[in-house]
Amino acid sequence: MAQDRQSPGEGRADVPERVSGDEPLLAARVHRPSDLMRLLGGLLAIGLVLAVAAFAHFTTSGLEKDINAGAGGAPDLFVKIAGLVSSIAVLLVPVAFAIERLVKRDGLRIADGVLAAVLAHGVTLATDLWVAEAAPGAIRDALTQPQSGGGLTDPVHNYLAPVIAYMTAVGMARRPRWRVSLWAVLLLDAFTMLVAGYTTALSIVLTVLIGWTVAYGTLYAVGSPNVRPTGQTLLAGLRRVGFRPVTALRAEGVPDAVDSGDRGRRYIVTLEDGPPLDVTVVDREQQAHGFFYRAWRRISLRTITTRRSIVSLRQALEQEALLAYAAIAAGANAPKLIATSELGPDAVMLVYEHIGGRSLDALDDHEITDDLARSAWRQVKALQSRRIAHRRLTGDAILVDRSGRVVLTDLRGGEIAAGDLVLRMDVAQLLTTLGLRVGAERAVAAAVEVLGPDTVAACLPLLQPIALSRSTRATLRRLARERSAREREAVLEASAAAKRERELAKAEAAALADGTAVDDTAVRTAPGAGAGTTAGSKAGAGAGAKAGTKAGAKAGAKAGAKAEKAEKKADKKAEKRALDTALDEAREEDLLAQIRQQVLLIRPQAPVEPVRLERIKPRTLVSLIAGAVAAYFLLSQIASTPLSTISQADWRWVAAAVLFSALSYVAAAMSLLGFVPERVGFWRTVVAQIAGSFVKIVAPAAVGGVALNTRFLQRSGVRPGLAVASVGASQLFGLGAHILLLLAFGYLTGTEKSRSFTPSRTVIAGLLTVAVLVLVVTAIPFMRKFVSTRLRSLFAGVVPRMLDVLQRPVKLLTGISGMLLLTGAFVLCLDASIRAFGHDSQSISYASVAVVFLAGNALGSAAPTPGGVGAVEGALIGGLVTVGHLPIEVATPAVLLYRLLTLWLPVLPGWLCFNWLTKREEL
């Protein structure tokens, strides 16, 4: 949208200033990553304070004694006067600041401060209630002091925390005079309360942290006022550095990807005299865009491959200016920087000579010639001759001007004096960028012609997705999904064609046996089921008739049955060969593999082993954190369990628990085979389920079991697509059965002690929670799209498989029985573990045990730890204590015994079974 405005300038005052394409409505508020980081830091600090209060009891008590001893010499009159003054001033200073802001029409900040103060007051009340009712005694002693009239002081001060939250949210810290006055009042108030014995040192620290944390949480939730400069600010800044702008046109087509979000807003500025300018405006909000992604890359990747996650505006300006001058000095085509300037305290601008043209992404494929590709490589060669790395050689950073000259833009993310690894990453990135547009062969040929074969071959270890830009990785993932869809369609077409051919052959065989002609149209529409049986049976009957005896007839029937069985086996082999052939013909190599092949044709001895760039993977980090928490929880529970309780276990119930645990593997095999129409050995499936006990220790249970069962079915002769569909159908049906059983047993648990069958509060709360989650998912577009995409891909393969299973009632009955038996075996194993420690069997029902197991198992499947370690134990112990009203001395050893039998003891047999199946090539 164009905006025409008049403003007095340094040039001709009658020239209108127009900003075309400027943001018509900039967001009034923005969510700053810095506020979120401060929020997380505050939460961590609160946790550390509580940890110190809980575990450093002697340190905190000694500190309180020292403070009380030092305060004893303070004059009582001085303490009372200071307390009175500070109590009044701590309320007057924020009110005075609010009046000053309202006079200057800055009411939104005051509203933010009031909201933060209200939330802080609520948090302090909740903290006081928790400390008084549920906190450990060490924390209560560290945060409170006994009063002379009885009772304890407040753990957190209900008026200090709101004042601190208000002060932080309104930005009083950015105004030195107000900040100094308020902090002086707060410190005086805290001092008087400490001296008078109304609080403790840790209570003061916790109060400050709560107010500070709530303030930044409020600011991040509601957003901070947007201070991004407008187009008119840009025009004023250009006049300050000596230019006479007429119009500023906002450049379009700038991608909004996370890895390019800090490139700034771009304008094409026309002047009263002289050529136009390209101006880039960078502000703090844009610079912070993608901060968390870059921070994670810096943590997860090795330092040599990453740059600083965020720099100041001054550093960003200086870095881009330095790289612009260095690139031109190296002989590369780069925009010429002619001026820089600040646009207030929160933005800078960089002024370049205008280069008209289009980016590589904007060009059609036929416009990207070999000469253009070689020109791009020559620019990279010029940079690398001076050890300059670009770090963003994507399609939008390569500009082609009107004369066909290639210009490298977006140098802000580059490096001076770059190492070999970073330079090779640039080569790998540009190979991929050009390969996506012109193919691997042409991209490699142009690179080899300009850089030489050795330089291109040296980048092969860096030719991996993690070394490429985020937008490039997203493109490669999209192409991989499209490639998989094409392969799947080719396999389905081949399967349908093979089925039509078999039906045609069977129909022809039946027609020949009847002595009749076969119409081609009728053959193609006739059902093929039973044709082979009819032909085989008639052949057998004919053999029997010729023999003229009953023995001959029986021999003929037997021969016909054998022929029918051999025919079916041959059909399956033929179908498998046809599908394998179709899959081989449809299989396409990904782009990175194609580039490697092209380079290896030139340098066969080039190293191809990928360089390890990742320092840590997300899954490893989550597993380590969750494992540490789980280990702490388990060790604390085991330490609190008396050894006498374990020694008094009833070993008859322990033996029963062992039998129920073993029965679960048979039930798991039944639940899997019930959704596999093909014939698979039952006992081999049982062995595979035992092997799964080893796999789920090294991977999350929901992931490891699915992968193992899918691999086992494929090795047993089930086609890959059908194997995945069978396991998916089993998982989907198991999820539905799990939810229904949880609701049913929850209902029974709520009504077992009541004469009427009214639903329990647990069931109602659960249903309401599910309803709220469904509403949230359907209301948020991103989550709705994510869930619908996953469900669509799931049902695409599962529903046809379920239809196949429904045609075999025995199979379906086996699957349902296996799932019910599996749940029953685990419930009985947990119940036997409880009874093993001498608990009265009448005080906890099977329904309650079932509810506890089903809830704990669901939590364990969602937990990121292998086998749900920690999460399952905590859920089961908490459930038995709250739902079953078991004492902690019984619930803890019972759950540990149950987990020992179902998780830890089967690991060794599972490892043996896993190796046995692997050696037999069945996994």
State the pLDDT at residue 79. Answer: 58
- The answer, yes or no, to whether residue 335 has pLDDT greater than 70, is yes
Position 708 confidence tier, pLDDT thresholds 50, 70, 90: confident
- The answer, yes or no, to whether residue 207 has pLDDT greater than 80, is yes
State the pLDDT at residue 548. Answer: 52
For 319, the token pair is 């870095």
Taking alpha carbons only, the member of 209, 56, 201, 221 closest to residue 136 is: 56
Q: Per-residue pLDDT averaged across 546-566, rounded?
A: 65
Q: Which residue has the tokens 């490298």?
A: 408
Which residues are 281's β-sheet partners? 265, 349
Where does 284-440 show beta strands of DSSP type E?
337-342, 347-353, 357-359, 398-401, 406-408
Taking alpha carbons only, the member of 659, 518, 624 closest to residue 864 is: 624
* Model pLDDT for residues 83-92, shown as the tens digit of each residue: 666 666 666 7
Residues 923, 917: Cα–Cα separation, whole Å:
6
Who wins on pLDDT, 617 or 811? 811
- The answer, yes or no, to whether residue 808 has pLDDT greater than 60, is yes
Measured in whole angstroms, how far is the alpha carbon of residue 297 from the centre of its chain?
Answer: 14
Mean pLDDT lowest among 133-142, 183-192, 551-560: 551-560
Residues 870, 719: Cα–Cα separation, whole Å:
37
Report the percentage of the chain scoring pLDDT > 90: 12
Who wins on pLDDT, 569 or 156? 156
Q: Per-residue pLDDT averaged across 735-740, rounded?
A: 75
Taking alpha carbons only, the member of 593, 577, 572 closest to residue 491 is: 577
Q: Per-residue pLDDT averaged across 768-781, rounded?
A: 62
Who wins on pLDDT, 461 or 546? 461
Which residues are 406's β-sheet partners? 400
Who wins on pLDDT, 754 or 348? 348
For CA atoms 363, 369, 371, 375, the dihedral sign is: positive
Which residues are 282's β-sheet partners? 348
Q: Per-residue pLDDT averaged across 797-805, rounded?
A: 63
- The answer, yes or no, to whether residue 921 has pLDDT greater than 70, is yes
List CB contacts of 33: < 8 A, sequence separation 6 or more. 288, 291, 292
- The DSSP secondary-structure symbol of 303 reads G
List CB contacts of 538: < 8 A, sequence separation 6 or more. 513, 560
Where does 554-644 show beta strands of DSSP type E?
none
* Model pLDDT for residues 833-846, shown as the tens digit of each residue: 888 886 554 457 77
Cα Rg of the chain (Å, integer): 37
Residues 815, 658: Cα–Cα separation, whole Å:
23
- The answer, yes or no, to whether residue 394 has pLDDT greater than 70, is yes
Hey, how many other C-beta atoms are within 10 angstroms of the C-beta on 769? 10
* Model pLDDT for residues 234-274, shown as the tens digit of each residue: 888 888 888 988 888 887 544 433 344 456 788 888 888 88
- The answer, yes or no, to whether residue 855 has pLDDT greater than 70, is yes
Q: Per-residue pLDDT averaged across 194-205, rounded?
A: 74
- The answer, yes or no, to whether residue 26 has pLDDT greater than 60, is no
Q: Per-residue pLDDT averaged across 742-762, rounded?
A: 55
Residues 132, 126: Cα–Cα separation, whole Å:
10
Who wins on pLDDT, 820 or 790? 820
For 361, the token pair is 């992404």
Hey, how many other C-beta atoms are within 10 angstroms of the C-beta on 737? 17
Q: Per-residue pLDDT averaged across 369-388, rounded?
A: 94
Residues 724, 491: Cα–Cα separation, whole Å:
14
Position 328 confidence tier, pLDDT thresholds 50, 70, 90: very high
Q: Count Cβ atoms within 10 A of the Cβ of residue 8 and give its class: 0-12 exposed, 13-18 middle, 19 or more buried.
A: exposed
Mean pLDDT lowest among 133-137, 341-345, 763-767: 763-767
* Model pLDDT for residues 93-131, shown as the tens digit of each residue: 777 767 766 666 656 677 788 888 888 888 888 888 888
Q: Per-residue pLDDT averaged across 725-731, rounded?
A: 76
Q: Count Cβ atoms within 10 A of the Cβ of residue 36 and give its class: 0-12 exposed, 13-18 middle, 19 or more buried.
A: middle
- State the amino acid at position 467 in one-letter form: A
Contact 297, 383 (CB under 8 A): no
Position 1 confidence tier, pLDDT thresholds 50, 70, 90: very low
- The DSSP secondary-structure symbol of 905 reads T
Tell me how far CA of residue 611 lies from CA of 24, 301, 421, 608, in angstroms.
47, 12, 9, 9
Q: Per-residue pLDDT averaged across 422-447, rounded?
A: 93
State the pLDDT at residue 10. Answer: 38
DSSP string, 575-599: HHHHHHHHHHHH----HHHHHHHHH
pTM of this prediction exceeds 0.85: no
Hey, how many other C-beta atoms are within 10 angstroms of the C-beta on 442? 17
Who wins on pLDDT, 183 or 481? 481
Position 351 confidence tier, pLDDT thresholds 50, 70, 90: very high
Q: Count Cβ atoms within 10 A of the Cβ of residue 469 and give its class: 0-12 exposed, 13-18 middle, 19 or more buried.
A: buried
- State the amino acid at position 496 in one-letter form: A
Taking alpha carbons only, the member of 535, 566, 539 closest to residue 555 is: 539
Residues 639, 824: Cα–Cα separation, whole Å:
31
Q: Residue 30: in which H helix or E strand, if any?
A: strand 29-30
Report the percentage of the chain scoring pLDDT > 70: 64
Give the orientation angle of helix 57-71 with respect to helix 201-222, to 10 degrees. Answer: 110
Q: Which residue has the tokens 């039906």?
A: 503
Residues 127, 207: Cα–Cα separation, whole Å:
10
Hey, how many other C-beta atoms are within 10 angstroms of the C-beta on 880? 27
Taking alpha carbons only, the member of 436, 453, 340 closest to residue 396 is: 436
Contact 829, 660 (CB under 8 A): yes
* Model pLDDT for residues 478-527, shown as the tens digit of each residue: 898 888 778 777 777 777 777 777 778 777 777 776 665 444 444 444 44
Angle at 676 between CA 671 and CA 677, to 5 degrees: 130
- The answer, yes or no, to whether residue 443 has pLDDT greater than 80, is yes
- The answer, yes or no, to whether residue 50 has pLDDT greater than 70, is yes
Q: Per-residue pLDDT averaged across 573-586, rounded?
A: 66
Who wins on pLDDT, 440 or 171? 440
Averaged pLDDT score across all residues of the chain: 74
List CB contacts of 25: < 8 A, sequence separation 6 or more. none
Position 427 confidence tier, pLDDT thresholds 50, 70, 90: very high
Mean pLDDT lowest among 13-17, 344-348, 788-792: 13-17
Who wins on pLDDT, 182 or 764? 182
For 120, the token pair is 């802080």
